[in-house]
Amino acid sequence: MDAPKAAVDPPVPATKRGRGPPRNEGIWQYFTKLKDAGKYHNYWYVECKSCRAAYVEHGAADPSESNIPAPHPIVSRIQDMHRHLSECRFVSDYVPDDTTSPRPAKVFRSYGKGEKKSTKYTTKGGSNGSSTLGISDKEDKELLRRDMEHRWDMERRRMALEEQKNARIDQKLARQEEEAQINRRLLLAKAQEAELQLKVAQAKARHELLQAGMTPEDVDAVLSNPATTPSSTNTSHSDSIL
């Protein structure tokens, strides 16, 4: 007869280890993710909240008289964001993290004849074991490309605004010139009308004086001298006739 089997305890599930608070959770209170933000590996497209608040409070009303520039979007990594907060003059409550190490500088080495450049592979993630070759160079190139695109885009916008401003100025000057021409035409028309009325009045007065018995020489003298009125001339002429 077989011996009874010993009771086997059911397996106890392994407890999950807590991951702790997320890394860099305190840095996002100082930055705003833009609407068109896109992450490329470890790069973010952000804007400093303190710079924006200072510009809105002091520089947005009259940018020509303010020394606070408009904030520019930042394409950076977490280390660059920490560095920006350390150097920003509008951030007062930021305490630098000693554990955040700055980006190591690149060291370029010249290889002699017969030497070969050793290729180093670094694993990212640890769980999948995928190796990336020269990912830092790719990230730097992508950062440079996006920065140049942003600069070109800002320059194109500035040139477009400048062209619109110049076009508005040209239109205003053209309207002023057109109004000045219209005013000159109106003044010329009024002057011609006044001259015509004067000629008509002189012709009428000449006719009346001739009918009154004055000689053409006396009429010309009267019309050439406005101070002499036709009534006084007629009176003197009648007296001489009598």
Amino acid 32: pLDDT: 83
The pLDDT of residue 113 is above 90: no
pLDDT at 166: 93
Going by pLDDT thresholds of 50, 70 and 90, the confidence category of residue 97 is low
Q: Is the pTM of this model over 0.85?
A: no
Mean pLDDT is lowest, of 51-65, 122-136, 145-159, 216-230, for 122-136
| pLDDT at residue 55 greater than cutoff 90 | no
If you average pLDDT over each of 86-90, 109-113, 166-170, which comes out highest? Answer: 166-170
Where along the chain do its domains lie? 24-100, 136-193
Q: Any idea which of 6-20, 82-96, 155-169, 197-211 has the lowest mean pLDDT?
A: 6-20
As a whole number of angstroms, the distance between CA 183 and CA 166 comes to 26
pLDDT at residue 26 greater than cutoff 90? no
Residue 146 pLDDT more than 60? yes
Per-residue model confidence (pLDDT) at position 50: 87
